[in-house]
């Protein structure tokens, strides 16, 4: 198969496996999604979903969150890891949303990336899932599978993002990135598949003889 043919197969098969693409992080609006995605760095979605109800009981808007002491935010998110840094970021970005954006989460990558604790991946998730803007956030699962399926070189996350954007239709980016994550968690895991075990790896590379060594994100 050519790279384009592999991408077409992946696109079709993932749509069959995951016709629905619910966002794994529980949230109510753009702000609670932004905070949840920020918390998910080096933390599982399951853990974030256990933490956010308590945090959002304290405050679930920028206006309220900016008034919560950082120490209280940190206590609420302690089990997520990197709690001191994340607590400061949540407090400061809430203040900046109120001061610079009338308390609303902006719908542009540049404005989101200017907020504390918000990198390119977090910003991409928010604009895609909260505002429907086409984006292709790349996490560790996507970075790993893109290499196993020879859709990207694995040189770095930015290169993987650009490669996948070229291979998949823009109108599908918001669904495809979630579908790859779902598949990577369930079937093509870091230890459970080495590029020769899961269904898609076996279909794309039925003659593959040796494990694929992937570069980390």
Amino acid 142: pLDDT: 97
Query: Among this protein's residues, is 50 annotated catalytic?
Result: no
| Widest pairwise Cα distance in the chain | 59
d(CA 21, CA 176): 9
Show the CA angle centred on residue 163, arms to residues 160 and 165, nearest 5°. 105
Query: Among this protein's residues, is 139 annotated catalytic?
Result: yes
d(CA 44, CA 202): 28
Task: State pLDDT tens for residues 20-39.
Answer: 999 999 999 999 999 999 99
φ and ψ at residue 105, rounded to 5 degrees: -75, 125
User: Is the distance from CB of 118 to CB of 90 less than 8 angstroms?
Assistant: no
- Domains of the chain, with CATH numbers? 3-21+136-204 (1.10.1670.10), 30-131 (1.10.340.30)
Does pLDDT of 217 surpass 90?
Answer: no
pTM reported for the whole predicted model: 0.93
Amino acid 216: pLDDT: 86
Amino acid 103: pLDDT: 97
The tally of CA atoms less than 13 A away on the side-chain side of residue 78 is 4
What tokens were used for 97? 């949303």
3-17 helix and 173-186 helix, angle to the nearest 10 degrees: 80
User: Is the distance from CB of 92 to CB of 116 less than 8 angstroms?
Assistant: yes
What is the CB neighbour count within 10 angstroms for residue 85?
14
Nearest to 49 by CA among 58, 40, 57, 41: 40
φ and ψ at residue 46, rounded to 5 degrees: -60, -45
Task: State pLDDT tens for residues 42-93.
Answer: 899 999 999 999 999 999 999 999 999 999 999 999 999 899 999 999 999 9
DSSP 216: P
What is the CB neighbour count within 10 angstroms for residue 95?
16
Catalytic, out of 26, 45, 107, 139: 139
d(CA 185, CA 179): 10
Contact partners, residue 4, CB within 8 Å, separation at least 6: 167
Average pLDDT of the residues of the chain: 97
d(CA 64, CA 84): 19
């Amino acid at each position: 198969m050519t790279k384009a043919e592999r991408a077409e197969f992946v696109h079709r098969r993932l749509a069959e496996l995951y016709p629905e693409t619910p966002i794994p992080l529980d949230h109510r609006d753009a702000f609670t999604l932004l905070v949840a995605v920020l918390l998910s760095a080096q933390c599982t979605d399951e853990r974030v979903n256990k933490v956010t109800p308590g945090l959002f009981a304290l405050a679930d808007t920028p206006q309220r969150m900016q008034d919560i002491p950082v120490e209280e935010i940190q206590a609420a998110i302690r089990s997520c890891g990197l709690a001191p840094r994340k607590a400061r970021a949540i407090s400061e970005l809430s203040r900046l949303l109120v001061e610079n954006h009338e308390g609303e989460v902006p719908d542009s990558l540049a404005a989101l990336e200017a907020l504390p604790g918000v990198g390119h991946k977090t910003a991409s998730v928010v604009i895609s899932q909260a505002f429907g803007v086409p984006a292709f956030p790349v996490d560790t699962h996507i970075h790993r599978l893109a290499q196993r399926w020879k859709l990207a070189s694995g040189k770095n996350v930015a290169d993987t993002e650009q490669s996948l954007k070229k291979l998949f239709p823009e109108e599908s980016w918001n669904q495809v990135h979630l579908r790859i994550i779902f598949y990577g968690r369930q079937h093509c895991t870091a230890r459970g598949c080495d590029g020769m075990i899961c269904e898609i790896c076996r279909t794309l590379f039925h003659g593959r003889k040796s494990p694929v060594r992937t570069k980390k994100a």
